[in-house]
Amino acid sequence: MSISELAGIDVPTGMLIGGEWTKGAATFPVIDPATEEPLAEVADGTVADALDAVGAAQAALPGWAATPPRQRAEVLRKAFELMTARAEQFARLMSAENGKSLRDARGEAAYAAEFFRWYAEEAVRVEGTLLRAPSGANRIITLHQPIGVALLITPWNFPAAMATRKIGPALAAGCPVVLKPAEDTPLTALALAGLLSEAGVPDGVVNVVTTASPAPVVSAMLADPRVRKLSFTGSTEVGKVLLGQAAQQVISSSMELGGNAPFIVFEDADIPAAVEGALIAKMRNGGEACTAANRFYVHQAVADEFVAAFAARMRALVVGPGLDEATELGPLVNEAARAKVAGLVDDATGHGAALVTGGRKPDRRGYFYEPTLLDAVPADAGLLGTEIFGPVAPVVRFSDEADAVRWANATEFGLVSYVYTDDLRRGLRVAEALETGMVGLNRGLVSDPAAPFGGVKQSGLGREGGHDGLLEYTETKYIATDW
């Protein structure tokens, strides 16, 4: 069965450059992580293809920037409607190429479409200011102009949402884009590009370059002075490399990088609610989320109760291919990801952590790993300092609020943290003290297209979503005037 038949929509396998679908000189395979079999062959874009895409975007810039905001909004609104109508097909496509359960994939399809709706609404609200200079001598006008051609680089864990979270605001602001999706999951990006063309996006405004060699292709685009914006979502390691390259042309850079989220449960928390929140924060997307709870700090007075209830829920999760309706946990994206997770668990138990449930690769084809809970994890276990990116929950017990906050902050990452307490004063005090860009207070999920998503420290620069996400694709111009 072809990937288009499997998903139930047309899934292109060529690149979209300047409104033309091009096959490219070579191809690379996309693998189904549940079967380890190839799903499709996708165009392997070269440096020349990438520079053609930048040229097409640059040629489309004046027209798109001058398009009335209402018209841009209506194209995005149409994209929202098309994606909502095809949510099930997009869910199947993501499940096939990423491995995630259909339940997670359906959630992502809806979430991804919401970025088109939100930015359709924001496109008409790019406001400036007018004020009188303090001296009284003149007026100060500010306006936000489209920044120019934007290079968007996305990871494999949310193949649709990470793309729409960038394309939505870029198009709303008047910027054409070149999207370079992750090589593990390029098909969703290509299907999205087809959908955007159908929604009325003019030729050259959205270009997609797929490649199995991201390093030279991305470097060439960042060395091209026509690129004025880089929006990257991926690992901190690659983000640092790209920031260095962007610096050569002083390209404005938004970075959504890795996380190491603490999940703190205080003794006054509603424990059943904390367990529900933990399950979402840890197991949504099989733990392959930058927002995934990575370390559970649980007050010793409630730790036995929390661990027992959390372990029961983890044990009961149905593991299987993402496309099976009953599946709650699909495979990891590839063998390297599974080997990393298995290595971290072995290291933790080797250092004395107690294995409560899981800890094994199921005996079947596909990159599966059991839902795993570790208790009494010692401070020197590698997984407390590493982004696990898999279905593994390490629990550390604490007895003092100050210790919990100090341990939570003892990381170079700062994307999100979670706090469970029924004492609002404590909740807000701890939320203020945590060094993260976002906090879930009695919630295991923070992502929302209307909210500014992003991290501090080595988790990133800038924000996506909300109004802030739109401003990332604009430059502020100041005009001093007399009248």
Q: Which residues bind ligand NAD (CB under 6 A)?
A: 153-158, 162, 180, 182-183, 214-215, 218, 233-235, 238, 241-242, 256-259, 290, 387, 415, 455, 460
Shortest gap between Cβ of 327 and ligand NAD (angstroms)? 22
The encoded tokens of residue 328 equal 């709650």
Closer residue to ligand NAD (CB): 149 or 242: 242
Which CB atom, from 449 or from 455, has the smaller least distance to ligand NAD?
455
Rounded Cα–Cα distance for residues 280 and 286 (Å): 10
Residue number with CB closer to ligand NAD (241 or 433) = 241
Any catalytic annotation for residue 290? yes
Structure-block tokens of residue 394:
């390490």
- Check: CB of residue 401 under 8 Å from CB of residue 447: no
Sign of CA dihedral 163, 165, 168, 174: negative
Cβ of residue 154: shortest distance to ligand NAD, in angstroms?
Answer: 6
Mode of pairing for the β-strands spanning 416-420 and 177-180: unpaired
Q: Which of 290, 328, 370, 464 is catalytic?
A: 290
Q: How far is the CB of 284 from ligand NAD (least distance, A)?
A: 12
In the numeric block, the tokens 């420290």 are attached to: 457
For ligand NAD, give the closer residue by CB, 34 or 153: 153
The residue length of the chain stands at 483
d(CA 25, CA 48): 11
Of the residues 114, 256, 288, 464, which is catalytic? 256
* CA angle (273, 276, 280) in 5-degree steps: 135
Nearest approach, Cβ of residue 162 and ligand NAD (Å): 6
CB of 250 to ligand NAD, least distance (A): 18
Task: Report which of 389, 472, 172 is spatially closest to residue 464, judged by C-alpha positions.
Answer: 472
Q: Which three-class secondary structure state does DSSP give residue 299?
A: strand
Nearer to ligand NAD, 238 or 373 (CB): 238
- Closest CB to ligand NAD belongs to which residue? 234
Q: Which residues contact 136 (CB under 8 A, 6 or more apart)?
A: none
Please list the active-site residues: 256, 290
